[in-house]
Amino acid sequence: MTIPTRAPQETFNDHPAWSLEIEYVAQGLVNLIYTTCPERVIVGGGVGLRLHRPALISRIRALWATI
């Protein structure tokens, strides 16, 4: 039995997998900021491509403020 998979670009913003991904990215950014104290954080590469959705970025910022 195979589970159908989709590319991240084809997955809707309200898919449950995005909630987990958003939490991981937010926690990683918080750890990076607390460890290195940068003035600015730029997310690029594969993570940056996946987060190229305004709805997801706003959810990361909201979660980031609560961590």
Question: Residue 64 — pLDDT band, cuts 50, 70, 90?
Answer: confident
Between the CA of residue 38 and those of 18, 30, 33, 34, 42, what are the distances in Å?
26, 11, 6, 9, 10
**pLDDT digit string (tens) for 13-44?**
677 877 888 888 889 988 998 999 999 888 87
DSSP-derived secondary structure letter, 52: -
Within 10 Å of residue 30's Cβ, how many Cβ atoms?
15
Look up the pTM and report it: 0.66
